[in-house]
Structure 1
Amino acid sequence: MNLARFARRRYTPGFTPLEPLPRLSAALGGPDIWIKRDDLLGLAAGGNKTRKLEFLVAEALAQGADTLITVGAPQSNHCRLTLAAAAKEGLACRLIIEERVPGTYNDAALGNNLLFDLMGAQNVRVVPLGTDLAAEMAEEAALVRAEGGVPYAIAGGGSTPLGALGYAACAAEIMAQSFDMGVAFDAIVVASGSAGTHSGLLAGLVALNAGVPLTGINVRRARAEQEGNVHRLAVATAELMGTPAPARDAVIALDDWVGPGYSLPTADMVRAVRMLAAQEGILLDPVYSGKAMAGLIGLVERGDFTAGQRLCFVHTGGSPSLHAYARDLRDPALNG
């Protein structure tokens, strides 16, 4: 797997930490749990989208773009980090927000919405769920061209084969750290949303012949649909890298912890966020890493992962959105 042939902007100096979680492991009484700290990636407040943007922004700059265009949900980590990358590179940025739950977008809200404002977001447009987002980005691109600019559109979550290279690189990081530290993992667990992180990790692990199973925890879709999405993108990413395609049965994207829908709080998520904060001093987010950790905890408690095993949880970041969910995280009905 030779990623050096792809143009890349480096927004993070070196590898992110790979750390044990001894107090959480002891509290659960199961496997030895470790965490890959991609919440500590570069750009504003970090998170998994930074890895994808390293490849996508490099392509945008190579094409002479002066404006990045992307889409996301309210409190979008991807929009925050795309805006941060644009600011760092001296580019303009236009955001299209898909209001997946009616009435949930508030431009005066805290969390990521506050950071949009701090980083100078001036072109933010809100559209309802079900809108053709590709068409909306094409319309924005046409407006940029009409003004004499050069647009570069980035799919939601940066989840394209080029963007997914960021997590093929992360797979190589994990395996290098694993070897260096003498720590062999029996499984890796990650949130599965727009599919780029999950797909990139899978394609990278297969390319490296790592032999480590990967479990995705869905945050939005039903299992069958999500697994199909992940497999298609993983195959396309492997094709881009020139490496073997992952088998369909290598894709696991469990939907047991989605709850009532994307971004909607659950008691399991609140418990996971509060447990990791109290046990290890590490902040998760309510939409992605919180539900993914809820899934890992649930799998340990039902016996899918057991004592004697060693797990790696990939922390995809997102903690700025915690402030927008303060009421839910303190709600007695969710925090039993």
Structure 2
Amino acid sequence: MSPRSLWMRTVLGQIALVQSVKETFDCRKLLRLKIPSCVVSARSCSSMSGAVEDYKPPEWATKLTYIPKKRIHLAVANTPIHTWKVPGLPADFSVSIKRDDLTGSTLSGNKVRKLEFLMADALEQGCRHVITCGGLQSNHCRAVALAARQLGLTPHLFLRTDATDVKSAGCEGNMLLDRLCGSHIYLVPRRNPFLTHLKPRMEQLAQQINTASGEDSYLIPVGGSNKTGLFGYITVFEELMQQGALDNFDDLVFACGSGGTATGLALGNYLTNGKLRLHAIAVSDNATYFYDHCDETLAEVGMAHLNSRDLMRVIDGHKGKGYGISTEDELEFIQQVAMETAILLDPVYSGKTALGMVREIHNNPGAFQGRRVLFLHTGGIFGLFDGRMTPFLEQKQEQEPLIKMWPEVNDCPL
């Protein structure tokens, strides 16, 4: 039998295998059989686009007065934890990293964790459109846009920017992905607050869509940070417990940009007797804003008696020049981390947070419960492609040329 005939026979056999088991196994189990991707049809992988299923919270969260009824699996869960030799770390501290930047490809990062509950709610309500908001390079808005298209919904994004016209909004980083998947984008002034300026626009758009088409829209706040999105990091905390994080680490450090991740982790830690000390590094707004937001969300799930100031430490002072604005030191740190550890940090969230963690360990070591620190990487890799790294790397090339021309075989440039 020729190699081609043997290959065809194997493929046909695997197709028959897929047909016989696709009603029994989900797509991830099928993938463990190492069936070629060309054989697994879109229909057999429908679970990857997310079948809405009943949500059963961990036992320790069952007393909350609000629990989402449904969940849809979008994230690659059980992201790994491994040691991380962060540049500049004191010798008596050890840091490991929880890789929530590996929750998917285009859906990577912490936002997809929240969307598992928010998108399930949207589908359960019969909505055909999803409306949300964020900055021009918002990771959240990119994740919403892609998840919406994956689930057959239409995304509408309100993006805050200093752009004065549509053309100047650009087509880089997260914005490239927003536009590739055909999002409806509405550019609004950068300093527009959510409650007074963005939410009214979102509500007005939803009404206009309903009037024109009869279709309903699902509104998601900044960062997906509400009582429903909260459960994205309730599930992550359960994952941390299963991975032994509560026994292997003393402190947990993470970025705080809209407050949802912080609230979910803080609540999970409290409900499981609070073994970890939580450090939320603010990359936007300030500690007072995040404490207040967290308290409001806690009240909405029946935990009004809690004070978020007792549950976590929100740390100001590491925003640099401001939200989404990079300093030379921050970009230098991002490159150093990439060169020494192969971990890619983004300039808006994880880069500022990791640098802030190193500085806090140096300047305020007593604020840490112990010396075993876990850093939660919340993703954001597409922020590296928004253009800001280009002039920095070009300047580095002038100082230390790592790119060299080698036109002829025998003309070694070294």
Structure-1-length-normalised TM-score: 0.88
Kept in 2, the 8 Å contact 1:203–1:245? The answer is no
Which among 368, 378, 382 is matched to residue 316 of structure 1? 378
Query: What is aligned with 2:248?
Result: 184
Q: CA RMSD in A?
A: 2.7
1:1-336 to structure 2, matched below 5 A, reads 1-2=60-61, 6-21=69-84, 23-24=85-86, 28-42=90-104, 44-99=106-161, 101=162, 106-121=168-183, 123-128=184-189, 129-130=191-192, 132-146=197-211, 147-178=213-244, 184-233=248-297, 235-236=298-299, 238-239=301-302, 245=306, 247-304=308-365, 309-324=371-386, 325-327=388-390, 329-330=392-393
**What CA distance in whole angstroms lies between the structure 1 residues aligned with 2:276 and 2:165?**
39
**SS of the counterpart of 2:347?**
coil
**Unmatched segments (≥5 aa) in structure 1:** none
Kept in 2, the 8 Å contact 1:190–1:217? The answer is yes
Kept in 1, the 8 Å contact 2:291–2:308? The answer is no
**What CA distance in whole angstroms lies between the structure 2 residues aligned with 1:328 and 1:165?**
40
Query: What is aligned with 2:33?
Result: none
Kept in 2, the 8 Å contact 1:190–1:215? The answer is yes
Deviation at 1:212, TM superposition (A): 0.7
Residue deviations 1:227-262, cap 9 Å, x none?
A: 3223333x23652xx797455332321111112211
Identity of aligned residues (%): 32
Kept in 1, the 8 Å contact 2:76–2:102? The answer is no
Q: Which amino acid aligns with 2:348?
A: V
Segment of structure 1 superposing worse, 154-163 or 131-140: 131-140
**Unmatched segments (≥5 aa) in structure 2:** 1-59, 400-414
Which structure has more RCO (C-alpha within 8 Å, separation ≥ 6)? 1
Q: 1:45 to 1:13 in 2, by over 3 A?
A: closer
Kept in 2, the 8 Å contact 1:68–1:93? The answer is yes
**SS of the counterpart of 2:248?**
coil
Larger Rg: 2
Kept in 2, the 8 Å contact 1:164–1:196? The answer is yes
Aligned length: 326
**What CA distance in whole angstroms lies between the structure 2 residues aligned with 1:247 and 1:160?**
15
Kept in 2, the 8 Å contact 1:69–1:154? The answer is yes
Q: 1:280 to 1:168 in 2, by over 3 A?
A: same
Deviation at 1:24, TM superposition (A): 2.2
